[in-house]
Structures are given as structure tokens and as C-alpha cells.
Amino acid sequence: MCELLCANFNKKVNLKLHLDAFKYRAADNPHGFGLAWFEDETAQIIKSPENAVESRLYDNMVKNDFVSAQILMAHVRYSSVGASTLKNCHPFSRELNGRNFIFMHNGTIDSYKKFNLNQFYPIGETDSEHIFCHI
């Protein structure tokens, strides 16, 4: 099952230590990773369908101190709904009323298709993004 890391600090900090340690959660969750952090009111999202443990993208971001923020969300994926593709990697983002919202989820929602969609629609195939669009 997926693993999540969320952190909220009282000031902007370098997230290298947190991200370096979190990467190893991908050993049991090899179907992708995603990172989100906020630069002012805008979320920056980097994600990939590759295993974070083996990812040069993940390593380069951490080694080069690329991520420095007050708020961090990280996700390593074990796919239960939807293929191991970029569009199914978490976190997901939508804009509403000029604000950027980020969502990631751990678990499976079996009857997710019964939740109606009317303003937002998933790009990928996951139950998580469907529920996010419903909310």
C-alpha cells in the first residue's frame, strides 16, 4: 500500500533529510512517486512512474537541494487501481477560485465510480483522482 509524507514547518526549510529518508519507502511501493511543495501560493509538483529508489530524477532533486519549502507532500505508489503511468502518480492538483489544491491518498476505494463528477474530471484512471475531482 502507498506511503505518504506531509510536513508543515513554521518557516521555509531544506527538505533534503526528509526526502532522502522517505525515498526508501519506495522499496515496497515501486509504481511511482510524487512530490509537491508550495512556492508562495502555487504548488510545484514533480512526479514519475518510476521507483523512487532507482530514480535519477528523485536523486538529483534531493542531492542538489532543489526542494526547499514550508509545506511538503510526498507519495510513493503501490498501484491498486490504474496502471503504473505518469497520469496515475500522486499528488494530483486542481485550481479552484484562484487557489491551488493538492491531493494524495493511500488505500483503495472500491465503489468510487458511484461518486458523481461535474466540474472536474480525472486525467488518469485512479480511484484517488476520481474522489479528488468529486470533492
Question: Residue 96: which of 76, 120, 118 has the closest Cα?
Answer: 120
Contact 110, 130 (CB under 8 A): no
Predicted local distance difference test score (pLDDT) of residue 40: 77
Place of cell 514519475: 48
Is 90 or 67 the better-scoring residue by pLDDT? Answer: 90
Is 63 or 90 the better-scoring residue by pLDDT? Answer: 90
Residues 6+ apart with CB under 8 A from 77: 2, 29, 31, 32, 33, 34, 84, 88, 89, 90
* Residue 97 DSSP label: T
Band of residue 87 on the pLDDT scale cut at 50, 70, 90: very high
Predicted local distance difference test score (pLDDT) of residue 79: 92
Band of residue 119 on the pLDDT scale cut at 50, 70, 90: very high
Predicted local distance difference test score (pLDDT) of residue 120: 97
Is 135 or 16 the better-scoring residue by pLDDT? Answer: 135
The one catalytic residue among 2, 6, 89, 133: 2
β-pair partners for 71? 8
Long-range Cβ pairs for the range 25-28 (8 Å, 24+):
25/52, 25/76, 26/51, 26/52, 26/53, 26/76, 27/53, 28/3, 28/78
**89 part of the active site:** no
Contact 91, 2 (CB under 8 A): no
Is residue 124 predicted with pLDDT exceeding 90?
yes
pLDDT tens digits, residue range 2-47? 999 999 999 988 888 888 899 999 999 999 999 999 877 788 999 9
Residues 6+ apart with CB under 8 A from 22: 3, 5, 52, 74, 76
Q: Which of 43-52, 64-73, 94-103, 107-116 has the least mean pLDDT?
A: 64-73
pLDDT tens digits, residue range 43-80? 899 999 999 999 999 988 887 777 788 999 999 999 99
